[in-house]
Amino acid sequence: MFPLQRGRRLRVNESIRSLVRETTLSPSDFMFPMFIAEGENYKVEIPSMPGIFRRSIDLTVEEVKELFALGIRAVNIYVKVDESLKDNTGKEAWNPNGLMQRAIREIKKACPKMIVMPDVALDPYSIYGHDGIIENGDVANDATNEALVKMAVSHAQAGADFVAPSDMMDGRVLRLRQGLDAAGFSNVGIMSYSAKYASAFYGPFRDALDSAPKEADIEVPKDKKTYQMDYANRIEAVKEALMDVEEGADMVMVKPGIAYLDIVREVKNAVQVPVTVFHVSGEYAMIKAASERGWLDHDKIMMEQLMCIKRAGASLISTYFAKEAAILLNQSLY
């Protein structure tokens, strides 16, 4: 008790603080989400996400090499699909010569040690902007799962290290595991978006991929709340994560990040696999917007949020700040 115990003795200077620091960050804690588009030498900034771009495959490969040199060891990739290729079956998602499959092959060829985790969901391929096949006015769970298996196997054939199902269909992890194993890809892992909430923080991401639900000439759900989770729920997140682990998930994810750190800790305490946290586009955009106006110190708030995500229990953080944060860490500025 005071005065024998004085907590401030461990805060006297940075050297002491670093000695007793409970949580640390390194570039290998980060995964960088990347948006890929058709074309050559193509690079267009996403207006709602300053500093984040849609890139053609050739420029994506160059960026991946830079990321690897900084110590980042994983990328989570998404594709901007041409409208002419979208339908209600998602069949372009498993085209062996599709944009995603070509991107995986080129990234692995140029940087074999980079872990590539392609997104597995139908919304970029859907004329309705939903994560699955529409039947009778709703997303058909089991039919969607069959499509996702084809998609995941095509990613594995292209060279993916993990597949990352973000769709939130019931039972899809089991179907993916069975499908990958049957196709001879037992070593390809599954990073499941286990606790993915129906969040308004995804707005800029949907701008990047044009993947928001759309008006249609048939009855379709107006939003994604019939499959993504209700943000009022906590116990449900633990249940979903445990079910995914039982079905064969090698990693589970909580999405979004900062507003859901209580969920991160609950899931971390419940499972025996690594927990990934997605520091999402809206969280990124808010920091960028506030710092541009001088309301926040960009680097300080960025690093504080990333540290807090790690402290809450993240083994891996998928973040649009990955490159910026890695540069600062490599310069020993944080």
Q: Considering the candidates 86, 224, 255, 268, report the single residue annotated as catalytic.
A: 255
Q: Which residues pair with 302 in a beta bridge?
A: none
- The pair of three-digit structure tokens given for residue 303, joined into one six-digit string: 């690093």
Q: Could you say which of 196, 224, 268, 310 is catalytic?
A: 196
Rounded CA separation 119/100 (Å):
9
The answer to whether 310 is a known catalytic residue is no
CA-CA distance, 156 to 162, in Å (whole number)? 8
| 215 in a labelled binding site | no
Contact 325, 67 (CB under 8 A): no
80 belongs to the catalytic site? no
d(CA 192, CA 104): 19
Q: How do beta strands 74-79 and 134-135 pair?
A: unpaired
Q: Alpha-carbon distance 168 to 170, whole Å?
A: 6
How do beta strands 53-55 and 43-45 pair? Answer: antiparallel
Residues belonging to the active site: 196, 255
Q: Please enumerate, by residue number, every residue annotated as part of a binding site.
A: 240
Q: Please enumerate, by residue number, every residue annotated as part of a binding site for Mg(2+).
A: 240
